[in-house]
Structures are given as C-alpha cells and as structure tokens.
Copies of this chain bind each other. A is one copy, B any other.
Amino acid sequence: MEIFKRSSDMREWSDQMHRVGETISFVPTMGYLHEGHLSLIEKGKNISSSLVVSIFVNPTQFGENEDLNAYPTNIERDIELIKKKGANALFLPDKKEIYPENYQTYISLEYLPNHLCGISRPIHFRGVATIVAKLFNIVRPDAAIFGAKDFQQLQVIRQLNRDLNFGINIVGSPIVRESDGLAMSSRNAYLTSEQRQSALSLSQSLLKAKEMVESGERYANIIKSNIRNFIDSFPYTQIDYISICDPDTLNELIEIDREFLFALAVQVGKARLIDNMLIKPIS
C-alpha cells in the first residue's frame, strides 16, 4: 500500500491509475478506525478496481468548544487495518498541506445545514463540504463511500456532488452497531463504562420510535416527547435534538404520512453521540 502525505503525489497516483483504466473508490476518514469504517472500505473495494483511504482530522469542521484536540488517534493501528483490508493507497496529509498559509476558500450549503446537527454545530457542514471537495479534487475518485450514521453529512455530500458537478458516485453504507445496539463511533472511546450504558438510550430510542409508529402513532410531537422522557431517565444524558424529518430536505414533519428519518443527538459524558433510522409507517 502506498502512503502519500502530499496532495500532488496523491493526485499523480490517481491520474496514473485512471490512465491505465482503473477506477477508484475513496473512503475519507478522521482515523481511529472501527468496524463502521472497515465496512465502508469493504464496500469501496467491491465498487471499483482500486481503493484510496484518507485519514485527516479536519479542524474546520470542529467548533471552538468541540473536541478537536481530544479526538482519539492511533495512526499505526489504522495503517495496519487499512493495509489488511487491501487498500491500494492511503492519503495522510498534515494540516499545513491541506490548509496552507493564506487559505481562505469555504463551501457552504444554504438549506441542508439548517437542521439536526447543523443547529448546534453552525460551522460543521461548511468544514465538511470544504474538506470533502478538496479531497475529491486531490483523490479524483469515481465513487466515494460514506456511513449512514452521519445521515445529514451524507445528504450534504450528495448535494455538494450534484451542485458542484463532481460527477462522483456517492454511496451510503448502513450503520454498523456493537452487539448491544450502540452505533460504532470513534467518540465511543470517551465513554466510561457507566456512560456506555446510558449511550444505549440512543439505539433503543430508534426501536421505541419505530414501535410507536408501527402501533399507529402519527403525531411527531407525541413520539418526540415520549423519547425525550425515555432518554432523560438515563444518567449522564443531555439531549441536543430529537428529530422526525423528511429524509431529503430534513424539514421537520408534524404528522407522519410517509417514510421519515428519526434522528437524535445526545451528549453522554464527554461524547456527543448521534444515531438515526429511516422508518416507514405501515399504511
């Protein structure tokens, strides 16, 4: 596996691959890989003839009071895992390579970020759109794979890809969970064992919401307040949002009359956790 630290070297490799007729799948990550990332890598391997993974903890998507400096890292282990999964190249730039002196260009979306995580993380999706556009231009993939746990991110990237004409096949991949239901996340590393129990309230909420809809509940507010009480009954939890929204626009629904996204964000100790599920009412 090739490891590139410079954008120009990464780009040259990709151009060469394309010249000899290869196709490229791309899995961008912030490292500290878990089974969720590995499932993206596997999916990428199946879609294209070659695979590029990147590791870069992108500072522009973290707010001032967020966990940029605490974000967990284990580069040696990550490299081993990526190599073992059969990636052809790893792009591993440092901050100066990505944001050199006098850097000043940012990509913003007008509507999609005004929902869910974008409300409490106002610059987050600007940072995400910007780094993803940069990585797309450096790696030049034919397909890029993103996890559905970050559902809003996936929608933002689909919109970015459409709006700026990248022409990349954006592939969403299902949430990977621990055996007890907790969605895999690098931030789970922040949890103490007691907090880990409280973190289960997120995935359990999804199932509760699904049950309520399946038993005929159609008022979003009733489901939300029910889930709110449920999560509040766990120690260490602080709800950021509970949302029942249209999967495409992310606009909140009042009445459930079609497939919707149930999504939530809960601070559990030091970890801000998110989870979501698409739910279809049986009519």
Separation in Å of the A91 CB from the closest CB of chain B?
11
A106 located at the interface, meaning its Cβ lies under 8 Å from any Cβ of chain B in the complex: yes
Which single member of B11, B102, B111, B160 contacts A167 (CB below 8 Å)?
A: B11
Distance of A100 Cα from B109 Cα, bound (Å): 14
A7→B165 contact, CB < 8 A? yes
Separation in Å of the A276 CB from the closest CB of chain B?
21
CB nearest to A133 among chain B residues:
B164
Which residues of A in the span 9-60 have a Cβ within 8 Å of any Cβ on B?
Answer: 11
A110 located at the interface, meaning its Cβ lies under 8 Å from any Cβ of chain B in the complex: yes
User: What 0/1 pattern do residues 144 to 164 of A give for CB contact below 8 A with B?
Assistant: 000000000000000110111
Q: For A11, what are the chain B residues with a Cβ–Cβ distance below 8 Å?
A: 165, 167
Distance of A100 Cα from B7 Cα, bound (Å): 32
Separation in Å of the A2 CB from the closest CB of chain B?
18
CB nearest to A139 among chain B residues:
B165
CB nearest to A134 among chain B residues:
B165
| Interface-central residue, A11, A100, A102, by most chain B CB under 10 Å | A102
Separation in Å of the A99 CB from the closest CB of chain B?
9
Separation in Å of the A259 CB from the closest CB of chain B?
19
Separation in Å of the A150 CB from the closest CB of chain B?
18
Q: For A163, what are the chain B residues with a Cβ–Cβ distance below 8 Å?
A: 103-105, 134
Distance of A49 Cα from B162 Cα, bound (Å): 29
Which residues of A in the span 102-137 have a Cβ within 8 Å of any Cβ on B?
Answer: 102-112, 129-130, 133-134, 137
Known: A102-B159, A104-B110, A130-B164. 5 other contacts (CB 8 A): A102-B111, A105-B107, A105-B110, A106-B107, A106-B110
Q: List 21 A-B contacts (CB under 8 A).
A: A7-B165, A11-B165, A11-B167, A100-B162, A103-B163, A104-B159, A104-B163, A105-B107, A105-B108, A105-B110, A105-B129, A105-B160, A105-B164, A107-B107, A107-B164, A134-B163, A134-B165, A137-B164, A137-B166, A137-B167, A138-B165
